[in-house]
Structure 1
C-alpha cells in the first residue's frame, strides 16, 4: 500500500523536539516500510532537514509550519494555512491518508476522504460530525471513542475504531530491579492540568531524605507548559525537599535512561477533557517503574489498580493524602513495588509498534475494500 501520513503544523519529523503523536507515527512509518509498504510523510519544515528526502525508506515532504501560538484561535488559523499547503503535496496515487491536523479532513476532496483515517488524539469539541465523510475516525482510547460517537449519527458508528497509541520505542531490555534508584519520576508538560501540585505536596509530606522527586519536562507557554510563574509556584511548594526540575529530554535514549533508574513513576493529571491516553505512564511501565496515575478513564485502557499499577482519586478532597499513602505503600513494600512494575512491563508486548502496526494495516486494508 501507498500510505501518506500528514503530521501537524507545529513539530518536526523526525521528532527531534518531542511530541508523543509525532513519535508514534514516525515509529509506525518505519514499521510500515519494514513490512513492505510505501510511506510518504508530510510534516513541518525544520532547520537542518531537507524539504524533500528519503530517510530510513520514508519519503519525507516538508512544508512551512509554525511555532505554537498562545492563542487557540491563531493556532486554528495557522493549522488551516498549513493544511492547505499539505493537501497539495498528497499524491493522487496514494491508497491511504492519515490526518493529524484539525482542518485536513474538511478540505480533502471527496475521493481523498474515502481514503482518510482521521487520527483523533484529543477529546473532540464538536467537529466530529463534520468528519463523517472520511473513511475512519480513529480514537486512541475508549473514552475518546465514546466521545466521538456522542457527536455523530449512529449510522456512522462503524467508522469509529479504537487502536491505542504505541510505545515510541522497542524495549527488549531485561530490567535489574536491584539497580533501580530511590527516584520518583514525572515526565511531561509542566502545566496546571497535570496535577503537579498534588504530587509535590504528597512527596514533601513524606519527609524522606533518601528519596528524590524528579520532574522532567517543558514549562514555557510556547512548548505547552504553564509558564515561568507556574514553575516558580511549584518550586515554592517543594520548599527544601529533594525535588528537582529538569529540562525536557527529547532524545528517546536519554529519556529511557531516566526511566531505567526510576523506581516509581507518577502521572497525576487532572485534565478531565484534555487527557486522552497518557504515553508517559506507558513508557515508564515499559521500563519497570511502578506507576501511579490519577483516576481519569483514559488510563484504564492499560492500567488496572493493584494489578499492573496504582490509581488515586484526584477528585477527592483528600487527594494529596491518598497519593501520599500510595507512595508510602510502595516505598515501604519493595515486593509490592516490584510485583506491580513487573506486571506493568507487559505493555512492551501489548503496545509495541510491531503489534499495533498490524492493527493499523488491517484497518487500512478494510478501508480499501469498502
Structure 2
C-alpha cells in the first residue's frame, strides 16, 4: 500500500523535540515501512535537512514551512500556503493521512484521485474547523472527547471516526525495573510545564502536606520541566523558579530534583524508569485532549495519579490501574496528599496498580496500533469510490 503522511506547516520530521504528535507519527511511519508498505512523509524543511531523504525505510519530502504562531489569522494563512506547497509534492497514494491543519484535508477532499483515500488526524478541538471536513474518508481521533466534539457538529461523520490514541514503544518502556526496597525512597514524578494551569500549585501543596505526615517510607520528588515555547513569558519563568525554590526549601536538594524534560528516547526512558508514582494534576479540562506522558509513564510501571480530564477514562479505571482526582474540589491538595501517602507506604497496593497500569496500555504498542491502522487503511483503499 502507498501511504503518504502530511504533517503540519511547523512540524519537523524526524522530530527534534518532545512534540507528541510528530513523535507518534514518526513511530507509525517507520512501523508501516517495516511491515512492507511504501511510506512517504511530507514535513517542513529546516536548515541542514535535505529536501529528499530515505530514512529507516521511509521516504521524506521536505518543503519550506512556517513557525507556529498563536495569532489565529496568521496561522490560518500559513496553513493555506502550506496546503498549496504540499499538494504539489504529494506522490500518487492509496491513502493520504493529514496530521493537523485544515486546508490540506479540505482541498484533498475535493480532489481525491491520485491522492487516494483521505484520512484526517485532528490536532485539536476546533469545532468550526470540523464543519469543513465533509469529504474525508476517515477520522483518527486521539481521544473520546475529540470524537464527541467532531460528532457534535458533523453527525454524519460519526461512523468514520475512530479513537486510536498515540503509539508508544511499549516493549522498550515496560522493561522490568527493580522493586523498591523498604529502605529505598519511592519516587513521585511530574513531567510537563511548571504553570498554574498544569495544576502544579495543587501538587506542591499536596507535597507539603505529605511532608508533614512524617511517613515511615522515605520518598523523593523528580520534576522534568518541559521547555517553554518561544512565546513563553518571563512571568512563567518566574513562577517556575518560585516552585523550584519552594520545593528545595521543603525537601532539600537530596530529595527534590528538577531537570529539563528529556529530548532523546534514551533519556526519556531513563526518566520514566526512576518514577514509581506519576502525578499529572492538570486543570486544563477544555484544552487537553490527550497526554502521551501519562501513557508512557503507565507503560514503564509508574502508577498514574491524574486529574479528571475528559480523556482520562479512555486510559484509567479509578482504583484499578491508577487514581483519578478532582483538582478543583475543596481540599483537593489534602485528598491528593492522602492518595500519594497510600501509594508511597503500601508496597503491595502500589505493585498491583503498577502492573495493571503497565498491561492496560499494551494496546498502544507501536506494532499493534500500526497493524490496526493498516487494516483500516486497506479496507478504505479497496472500497468503491
Question: TM-score normalized by structure 2?
Answer: 0.88
> Aligned residue for 1:333?
346
> Aligned residue for 1:99?
98
Q: Structure 2: give runs of 5+ residues left out of the alignment.
A: none
Note the alpha carbon deviations across 1:251-272, whole angstroms, 9 max, x for none: 0111110111111101111111
> Aligned residue for 1:139?
141
Q: Secondary structure at the match of 1:329?
A: helix
1:71 to partner: Cα distance: 3.2
- 8 Å CA contact 2:197, 2:283 repeated in 1: yes
1:288 and 1:307 map into 2 onto residues whose CA distance is 13
2:238 and 2:14 map into 1 onto residues whose CA distance is 31
> Aligned residue for 1:216?
224
* Among candidates 316, 336, 348, match of residue 303 of structure 1: 316
Note the alpha carbon deviations across 1:258-300, whole angstroms, 9 max, x for none: 1111111011111112111211011001111111111112011
Residues 174, 238 of structure 1: alpha-carbon distance in 2 compared, 3 angstrom cutoff = closer
- Alignment of 1:170 with 2:179, yes or no, is no
Note the alpha carbon deviations across 1:84-116, whole angstroms, 9 max, x for none: 22222111x211111113221122252338611
> Aligned residue for 1:238?
247
- Alignment of 1:199 with 2:218, yes or no, is no
Q: Secondary structure at the match of 2:341?
A: helix
* Among candidates 237, 251, 260, match of residue 228 of structure 1: 237
1:81 to partner: Cα distance: 2.5
Residues 75, 322 of structure 1: alpha-carbon distance in 2 compared, 3 angstrom cutoff = farther
Note the alpha carbon deviations across 1:196-253, whole angstroms, 9 max, x for none: 2211221122117943322213242327788323323433553612343311211011
1:72 to partner: Cα distance: 4.0
Residues 79, 140 of structure 1: alpha-carbon distance in 2 compared, 3 angstrom cutoff = same
Residues 24-173 of structure 1 aligned to structure 2 (within 5 Å): 24-91=24-91, 93-103=92-102, 104-108=104-108, 110-112=110-112, 115-152=117-154, 154-168=155-169, 170-171=171-172, 173=175
Note the alpha carbon deviations across 1:50-76, whole angstroms, 9 max, x for none: 111001010001122333334344333
Residues 328, 72 of structure 1: alpha-carbon distance in 2 compared, 3 angstrom cutoff = farther
Note the alpha carbon deviations across 1:109-162, whole angstroms, 9 max, x for none: 52338611110232233211100211112111112111110011x333222222
1:13 to partner: Cα distance: 1.2
Greater displacement, 10-19 / 112-121: 112-121
2:72 and 2:238 map into 1 onto residues whose CA distance is 20
Q: Which has the larger radius of gyration?
A: 2
- Alignment of 1:190 with 2:194, yes or no, is yes
Residues 287, 181 of structure 1: alpha-carbon distance in 2 compared, 3 angstrom cutoff = farther
Q: Secondary structure at the match of 1:16?
A: coil
1:330 and 1:80 map into 2 onto residues whose CA distance is 50
Residues 248, 223 of structure 1: alpha-carbon distance in 2 compared, 3 angstrom cutoff = farther
RMSD: 2.3
Residues 11, 197 of structure 1: alpha-carbon distance in 2 compared, 3 angstrom cutoff = farther
> Aligned residue for 1:289?
302
> Aligned residue for 1:5?
5
1:350 and 1:183 map into 2 onto residues whose CA distance is 26
